[in-house]
Every structure is written in C-alpha cells, then in structure tokens.
Structure 1
Amino acid sequence: MSITIFWIAIFIVFYSYLGYPMVIFVLSRYFPYQTKRRGSAAAVEEPEVAIVVAAYNEAQWIRKKMDNLLSLDYPSDKLEIIWVIDGSSDQSRSLLDSYSQVIVLDAGRREGKTAALNTAYAKAKSPILVFTDANCLLNANALREIVRHFEDQTIGCVSGEKRIAFDITDDVASKGESLYWKYESKLKEWDYRYYSAVGAAGELFAVRKELYTIQPIDTILDDFMISMRIAQNGYRIAYTPLAYAVESGSLNMAEEQKRKVRIAAGGIQAVFRLKKLFNPFRYGKLTFLYCSHRVLRWTIAPVALILLLVSNLIIVLGERSLNNMFSIILFVQMLIYLCALIGYLKSRMGNSVHRVFYVPYYFLFMNLNVFLSIPYLMTRTKTTGWEKSRRKD
C-alpha cells in the first residue's frame, strides 16, 4: 500500500511542477494553435479603451500611477481612465479630482474589489476594458500590444506579464515571488501557444466588454474568474510578455503569506465555481490546461508532497530489500527540506539567502499556504473589504 501511495504521490508532484512544463513546451512547439496572422498595430484603427483601476487607500500611488497612464503610447482621445476608490478614507478623491481625464467612482463605503470592477464595467463606454492595479507601472507600449491581440476574433481576454522588481539586497519574499512569476509566465506563454492561457493576472489584463460577466462580490480571485468565465464561453485568453506591469515584491514573508493564503483560498473557491471545466468532452484542451496548470497545484499536489515523504519513510524503515532506490529518493527529499529550513532561518535572521536555500523554502512555503487557506476560506464571511499586503516602496 505504501509503495502504491508513493508512486502516485511522486507522479503528481513531478507532473505538477516539472512534468507539465515539459509536456506543454512540446505541445506548444510542435502542435501550436493555428490562427490567422494578424496585421501590424499600425494597419488598423485603434479601438477605444477604458483603463480601470480599483483601489482602496492608494493615495501614495496615485500621482505615480497617473503619470504612468498618461505617458502610455496610445491616442488620448480614445482612452477612458476610470478609478473606483471603494470608500477610501485617505486623500484619493481629492488627488484624482485634479485630473480632468479621470472618472472617479465611489459608493462611499467599502464594497470590495470585485464589486469595484463590476461598477467600472457598468460605467465604461469603451469596447475594451483594461484592468490594472494602482501600485504597478505599465510599459509605454502596453496598450498597443494588448489591443493588437483582439484583432483575432477567437481572443476574448488578453493577459499581460507581471514582473517583480527587486535587487540583490531584497529578502526571500521578493526573490521568491520574482522567480515564481518567471516560471508562471513561461507556462502562460506555452499554454497560449498551444491553445489558451489559463487565467489572467490582475496587475494587467484586458477583456472585450461584451464578454465581461458580473462576478459575485465575495469572489476572491476576481481576475482569474473574470478571465476564465470568458474562456469557459469558448474564447481564448492571449498572453503577451510585451505588455507588462512592474511592481515591488511583498514587504516581508509575513505580508507574502497573507497574499499567498488569499490566492490559495481563491484557487480552491474557483475550483468549485468552475467545476464544469472538468468535462473534457465539452472543453477539450481547456480542461487539460486548467487541470494540469491550476487544479493540481491548488488541491492535490500539496497533499501529495506530504504523502510522498510519509510513504517514503515507511518504505525505507519497513522494507529493507527496497532500501537502495527509495533511500536515495528519501535522502533527496530530506536535503530539500533541510535547504528550505536553512533558507527560513537565514531569512528570519535578516541574512542574505542564496537561491539554493530560498527556492526550496519558497516552494514549500507556497504549498503550506494551501493548507492555511482552508480555514481562511471556511471562516471568511461575505465581507467585501479587501486585505492588502504591504509591498516595498
């Protein structure tokens, strides 16, 4: 029994983090989605675009964000800028009122980010909605690159790339998050080449307004659910690294944990709400991508990690004749956990952490937060206020 559990667990862990990337790389290279070639961005007239920024108490970012938005390479007469400040108690309203180009929406009370996006959708007049966070900056050509993808009528959503700015002196929170997003971005790129990206990042993504679906206000991962509802309705999600949003990493691991627990809880919530996507006879490639890229990591893989270690220990301690191969695998596992422990201790002491230690630390940290997200999700009420994780300035 232990051997059966061991092999199932090792397959799930390997496939979730290494096997699937190998598979989707091959599929994207040799079996890419065939679509009509798009023309150049200059060959078509730019559509009107609404940029939506949902924010709560982000006064410190408003001037920098507005300078960034107003400097984008896109016709100003075709640009709506909508801020939903969600009952902010700081100087957000007065700062935004100084910009004549901005539409400011505020219900006067905190309703949550999902409600804010729903409000902006109802107000926007443009056929393309571009969502971005207040605390990140976009590259100058981001909008042109995004709208170019909508020339393909199979595309209903476009996801830009999320980049984490950090330097060598930053701690594990920034370095780990940056490395994770490089890994995640490459998977999105391959997913899209094969068929469709699986979800979009809230820092920068766009949708056709006609395809936007109102989400329940208790939705945790609004960006993921909005984009995946579009994919569920038969459209593809494009991914482009040429349109990107840059933000700082989390202030520390405590703040990063708040973020990871929320994301993991949102992932589990999404698995239940998108249960129809488990039908491969209806959704085909999308089911394969969704289960391989998201569902395994949000549900089964963290459990498999524990079962892998426990079953490996039982086998080594109880089946002497099998000790050779299984002992090596157990040694590798223990070495990974030891490196993660060293990374944790060095991080707690404020020391610089080498990649050899912070990669296993951050990997196990992510999986641990899946378990911590369960009580978070079960005890979470339908409160509408969002919980922000503090980031470096």
Structure 2
Amino acid sequence: MRSAIKDFPMVSMIVPVYNEASVIQRKLENLQALNYPKNKLEVIFVDGGSVDGTAEKIENLVPTKDLSIKVVRQGCRKGYNLAIVEGFAESAGEIICFTGAEVEYEPDALLLMVQHFADPKIGAVSGKQTIKNIKEGLSPEIEGAYRNLFDFLREAESNMDSPFNIQGEICAARRSICAHLVENEELFHKGCIDSCLSFQGKMDGFKTVYEPGAVFYELAPDSIRESFNQQIRRAATLIQSMMAFKAMILRREFGAFGMLIMPAHFLMLVVLPFLFLVGSIGALAIFASNPLQHPILTATIVIAVLATLFSKQVQAFVRTQVVLVVTTLGMLTGIETQKFKRLPSTRR
C-alpha cells in the first residue's frame, strides 16, 4: 500500500522525439493538464535530428505553457537509448519518468505513480495502456487482447515480487536506478532502457510495482502489417534487455523475480514459440498423412482453428508466437531496435 505524498519529489520527464510535429502540441497540452505541481516537474524533449520542425515547434510553444521545458538537440538520429542517456544528463529530478510524444496521460497518472516512491522499498512504477481506437478494426482489437494478457501478468507479478514487463510509455524510477542504466554501455545500441527498470531495480535492492490507475491513451496501428512490425521491434528490445541481465536468472538472491518470473518469461519469449511452431507443424503433418486415422488430433485441430477464427485472445496468442519466432530468427541477422520507424496510423 502506498503512502500519501508529504513532500512532492522533483520529477524529470524525458521525451525522445523524431519528426513528431503533428502531435507535439497535443502532447504539451496533455502535460500541462497533469495534476502535479508544475514547480516540481521538468520536461526534457530530446530531438533526434527531426526534419519536420519538431524542435522549433516545441520552442515556439514553450511561452504558452506553465511548464519547465528543455529541448536537447542531438543533431542526428542516434536512437532511443542514447536519447534517454542525453536527456538524463540534462535532468535534475529525483524521479525520472519516460514517455512518448504520441501518448496521452490521464491527469492523475503521474501523481499515482509518484505516490509509490513514498515507500523507500519501491524503485520503479509502471502504468496501464488504454487503446483509443480499439473498436476500429481487427488489428487494434487483437492488440487490446494482447495488452489485457500482459496487464493480468504484470498485476500478478507485482503482487508476487516485481513485474517483468514495463510499459515504456508510462513508467518512472528513482534517479539512482536510471543512473546505473545510462552508464551501461551494453544498452547504448540495443535493448530498451525503460524495459530494464525492473531488472536494474531488483539488482539495486528495490521492488517495481504495477499501478493500474496510472493510465495513458494511445492509438494502436490500424493495419496488421504495422502492428506486426511494431510487435517485432518490441519483442526484440525486450529479449535484448532480458539478455543484458541474464545473470539474474535462477539466482536466489533476487527472490521470486530471479527464481520464477524471469525464467518463466525466458521460456515464454524464447523457448515456447519454437515448441509451438514445431508442435503445430508436426500435428499438421500427421493430420495431412491420414486424418481419419487420428480422430482426436483431427478434432483438436478443428477446435484450434475455430478458436483462432473467433477468439481475439487466441488470435493474440498465435500472432505473438509467430512474432517471437520471426524476432528470434531476425536477431541472428540483426534487427534495428533503436531507430524504429514511425507508424503513421498511430499519429492521427
């Protein structure tokens, strides 16, 4: 249970941006509406060489907002993690918050996250995504089912120890944890710093919590192709982040997080997808050879096909397995996880 805030800590919110001129005014308006003392909040935009005037638009809007705003110009695109590194170097907050230009917070979202830091055992907090266009097509509906599954897991893991999966669009952590991450050169060009908050926090002796009341809104890609590409990038960064802290797996000193939560996610992210692939191919091969000789297998395949056609949850599971297989194979040849492509349908 969190304690009420007696003395609001200084929060530095880091927002990496690249060609976000179309949404940046809405982002600033959303930040202005946050129910958090403005003298205890600074916003640091890190511009990765935008060519659409993003940095200039932010600077022009600064006088219209009651916010402390800095714009860090990288000059060229260096990738997400290096944007976080440079933004952190300009920050002064006790609490560091990460977010994206395209997401919108509920007014109380930041406050609900920061309240947890009144407990000295808490090192990081993550919130919950709500998809704005969930009723606008198959792809957003499947994304919603996928997110609901992970929200369920994160809440269970938070009650047990710490959640494995951090929602990078809405998360906050103590400065000391972030300082260790931005100094980790292994993360400069792979993985995702915000995905590592639970790992680093646990190594530093802290617990991470999931705060479902801290809600943000975001558009899901409206096409299967955009959604598939987004999931591949997310999966690759998550696997890379986990592997950067693989020494924690099955280590008793990290409690249930090291002994149960991390091993379970290693199996889910790396092992299960290939077992699913091999099992599916094997079952179909046996079925194709002579379906009448295998009535139980035939019935199982029919049920599985029907479930996939009519259940968004099953569709999300199947697509996730395909994404993870493609991601793992792609990582052998190299997947770009830092300079990711902007998805037009999520910037409306």
TM-score (norm 2): 0.88
Aligned residue number for residue 331 of structure 1: 299
- Pairs within 5 Å for 1:30-41: 37-41=1-5
Aligned residue number for residue 112 of structure 2: 145
- Deviation at residue 339 of structure 1 after TM alignment: 5.1
Cα deviation 1:281-312 (Å, max 9, x = unaligned): 232201211222x2122111111213333555
Partner-residue secondary structure (3-state), 1:257: helix
1:209 to 175, 188, 203: 175
1:96 to 58, 74, 80: 58
Which residue type is aligned with residue 164 of structure 1?
I
Which residue type is aligned with residue 336 of structure 1?
A
2:318 to 344, 350, 364: 364
Q: Distance in 2 between matches of 1:277 and 1:334?
A: 41
Q: Does 1:374 align with 2:328?
A: yes
Partner-residue secondary structure (3-state), 2:22: helix
Which residue type is aligned with residue 66 of structure 1?
L
CA change 1:91–1:278 in 2 (3 A) is same
Would you say the 8 A contact 1:81–1:102 is kept in 2? yes
Would you say the 8 A contact 1:309–1:330 is kept in 2? no
Q: Distance in 2 between matches of 1:191 and 1:383?
A: 26
CA change 1:224–1:109 in 2 (3 A) is same
CA root-mean-square deviation: 2.5
Q: Distance in 2 between matches of 1:184 and 1:38?
A: 23
Percentage identity across aligned positions? 23
Which region of structure 1 is more displaced relative to structure 2, 118-127 or 300-309? 300-309
Which region of structure 1 is more displaced relative to structure 2, 265-274 or 306-315? 306-315
- Deviation at residue 383 of structure 1 after TM alignment: 8.4
Aligned residue number for residue 290 of structure 1: 262
CA change 1:335–1:138 in 2 (3 A) is same
Q: Distance in 2 between matches of 1:383 and 1:331?
A: 41
Q: Distance in 1 between matches of 2:163 and 2:134?
A: 29
Partner-residue secondary structure (3-state), 1:156: strand
1:220 to 176, 191, 207: 191
Partner-residue secondary structure (3-state), 1:59: coil
Q: Distance in 2 between matches of 1:126 and 1:313?
A: 56
- Deviation at residue 337 of structure 1 after TM alignment: 3.2
Aligned residue number for residue 180 of structure 1: 146
CA change 1:332–1:319 in 2 (3 A) is closer
Aligned residue number for residue 300 of structure 1: 271
CA change 1:227–1:54 in 2 (3 A) is farther
Cα deviation 1:179-223 (Å, max 9, x = unaligned): 111221121111111211113111100010111121422123332
Which residue type is aligned with residue 108 of structure 2?
N
- Deviation at residue 374 of structure 1 after TM alignment: 2.9
Aligned residue number for residue 18 of structure 1: none
- Pairs within 5 Å for 1:160-171: 160-168=127-135, 170-171=136-137
Partner-residue secondary structure (3-state), 1:82: strand
Cα deviation 1:82-132 (Å, max 9, x = unaligned): 101111111211111020431000110001010001111111001001111
Cα deviation 1:38-94 (Å, max 9, x = unaligned): 4324xx111111111111111111110000001101111111011011111112111
Aligned residue number for residue 81 of structure 1: 43
Q: Distance in 2 between matches of 1:316 and 1:375?
A: 27
- Deviation at residue 248 of structure 1 after TM alignment: 0.7
TM-score (norm 1): 0.78
Which residue type is aligned with residue 339 of structure 2?
G
1:190 to 144, 156, 176: 156
Partner-residue secondary structure (3-state), 2:42: strand
Q: Distance in 2 between matches of 1:87 and 1:48?
A: 28
Would you say the 8 A contact 1:258–1:389 is kept in 2? no
Q: Distance in 1 between matches of 2:255 and 2:298?
A: 37
> Which is greater in Rg?
1
2:34 to 47, 58, 72: 72
- Deviation at residue 318 of structure 1 after TM alignment: 9.8
Would you say the 8 A contact 1:220–1:263 is kept in 2? no
Would you say the 8 A contact 2:124–2:198 is kept in 1? yes
Which residue type is aligned with residue 232 of structure 1?
M
Partner-residue secondary structure (3-state), 1:87: coil
Partner-residue secondary structure (3-state), 1:80: strand
